[in-house]
Amino acid sequence: MSKELWKGNEAIAEAAVRAGCKYFFGYPITPQNEISEYMASRLPEVGGCFLQAESEVASINMVYGASGAGARVMTSSSSPGISLMQEGISYIAAAELPCVVVNIVRGGPGLGGIQPAQSDYFQACKGGGHGDYKLVVLAPNSVQEAVDLVQEAFDIADLYRTPVLVLGDGMIGQMMEPVEFYPIPKRELPEKNWAADGTRGKRPPNIINSLYLKAEECEIENLRRYEKYAAIQKSEVKCETYNLENAEVVCVAYGMTSRVVSNAIDTLEKAGINAGLIRPVSLWPFPSGIIAEVAALPGVKAFLTVEMSMGQMVEDVRLAVSGKKPVHFYGRTGGMVPEVSAVVNEVKRITGEEI
């Protein structure tokens, strides 16, 4: 298939359908409404079901139900809506059900605004909901990568029986970019023999549950689930690097911000300053290993984390760098996007260059 021009939100929805998603439950919120709008017209064409729920709380519990019955299911929202879903996400993680949740992040806290932001990193990667659990968090930096990652997210969810969060921002949802839908490699997936989809009189009922009246049992379940998380950390780290060779300053940025940073790196190169980029694609599992390796390189003088937040991922970068090198931070917040020139100046400040 040749390239076509797609809006990020539409492309995310189409990618989900192509990955076999048959059910979508959601509630409107800007800047991700095109996902629901697209699903409403597209899912009936593939024999699926779109339902606008009465709230985000209802949506995520519908996802819980459909996933428990073994269906490929997705919901999407933007920051405040994702906050409302946290209880349900915790239940889904506890019940070990696969599903895909898309967060097209907007400025916050509170109602914030409708412009792009990355200030839901903590919520995405550090729990968000209650209890000991993790989400696999994938952060695309182009519409094409969003299409690829959404499709892969369904396989990762099924393989590990875990909710997967695709973390975009308003810009990736709203902008148009060329996209090609090609078949992505499918993983070998286990049979869903746990699904509560009717016994047909042939087996004992499957029960989906997250309540443990004995603390000992709850602990055993948590320990077992964390073994699974360890396996994910071993196999599912995704990361891209750019211009790391000879880099004095290593920037760390994800999603849309990484594109601002890579343009800043090109500008700096023309001025004779060597900067590079580590772009985490999976935010959890976080590419700590790669960051630690780069931090140990003698040529690397400092790190600069750039985010559309007051500084969230920077904490994981500091943990990974582990004091070997200074870690600086530059961020814009509330829906503002860092400018290429501002990132250039931050790097120059670190290298002691004149601005």
Partner 1 sequence: MFDVLKEKRINIVTGHYGSGKTEFAVNYALKLAGAGAGVSIVDLDIVNPYFRSRELEPLLSKYGIKVISSSVDSPALEVPALSAEIFSAFRNDASHVVFDMGGDDAGANALARYHRYLDNKPYEMFFVLNANRHLTKSAEDAIKYLRSIEEASKQKVSSIVNNTHMCGQTAADDILKGQRLCEEVSARTNLPIKYTIINKKLLNKKLCSIINNEVFPIDIYLKKPWEI
The residue type found at 353 is E
Matching residue, tokens 């937040």: 309
Residue range at the interface with partner 1 (CB under 8 A); choices 47-55, 89-97, 131-139, 174-182: 174-182
Kindly state whether residue 256 participates in binding partner 1, applying the rule CB under 8 A. yes
Kindly state whether residue 46 participates in binding partner 1, applying the rule CB under 8 A. no
> Measured from the CB atom, is 42 or 225 closer to partner 1?
42
Q: Specify the DSSP element, H or E, that contains 168.
A: strand 163-169
Rama region for 110: left / alpha / beta (φ>0; ψ in -120 to 50; rest) = left
Contact 146, 172 (CB under 8 A): yes
The site for partner 1, by CB under 8 A, has a size of 28
Among 44, 109, 131, 178, binds partner 1 (CB under 8 A): 178
DSSP conformation letters of 280-320: ESEEES--HHHHHHHHT-TT--EEEEEESSSSSHHHHHHHH
Of 236, 229, 277, 230, the C-alpha closest to 255 is 277
> Measured from the CB atom, is 114 or 232 closer to partner 1?
114
Count CA within 13 A, CB hemisphere, residue 249.
29
Q: Specify the DSSP element, H or E, that contains 242.
A: strand 239-242
Among 26, 129, 168, 170, binds partner 1 (CB under 8 A): 170
Strand, helix or coil for residue 224: helix
Letters for 60-99 (x = contact with partner 1 by CB under 8 A, - = none) are: ----------------------------------------
Letters for 268-287 (x = contact with partner 1 by CB under 8 A, - = none) are: --------------------
Kindly state whether residue 263 participates in binding partner 1, applying the rule CB under 8 A. yes
What's the closest the beta carbon of residue 210 comes to partner 1, in angstroms? Answer: 37
What's the closest the beta carbon of residue 35 comes to partner 1, in angstroms? Answer: 14
> Measured from the CB atom, is 114 or 125 closer to partner 1?
114
Residue range at the interface with partner 1 (CB under 8 A); choices 108-116, 216-224, 230-238, 298-306: 108-116
Strand, helix or coil for residue 52: strand
Residue range at the interface with partner 1 (CB under 8 A); choices 57-65, 149-157, 173-181, 286-294: 173-181
Kindly state whether residue 335 participates in binding partner 1, applying the rule CB under 8 A. yes
Strand, helix or coil for residue 4: strand
Contact 159, 131 (CB under 8 A): no
Among 22, 192, 238, 259, binds partner 1 (CB under 8 A): 259
Strand, helix or coil for residue 174: helix
Q: Angle at Cα 126 formed by Cα 121 and Cα 130, nearest 5°?
A: 125
How far apart (Å, rounded) are the C-alpha atoms in residues 286 and 233? 8
Kindly state whether residue 113 participates in binding partner 1, applying the rule CB under 8 A. yes
Strand, helix or coil for residue 67: helix
Partnered with residue 25 across adjacent β-strands are 51
Residue range at the interface with partner 1 (CB under 8 A); choices 16-24, 171-179, 200-208, 315-323: 171-179
What's the closest the beta carbon of residue 255 comes to partner 1, in angstroms? Answer: 12
What's the closest the beta carbon of residue 171 comes to partner 1, in angstroms? Answer: 7
Among 115, 118, 119, 123, binds partner 1 (CB under 8 A): 115
What's the closest the beta carbon of residue 19 comes to partner 1, in angstroms? Answer: 17
The residue type found at 113 is G
Residue range at the interface with partner 1 (CB under 8 A); choices 2-10, 159-167, 281-289, 314-322: 2-10
Of 280, 330, 281, the C-alpha closest to 302 is 330
Binding site for partner 1 (CB under 8 A): 3-7, 10, 30-31, 113-115, 170-171, 174-178, 256, 259-260, 262-263, 335, 337-340
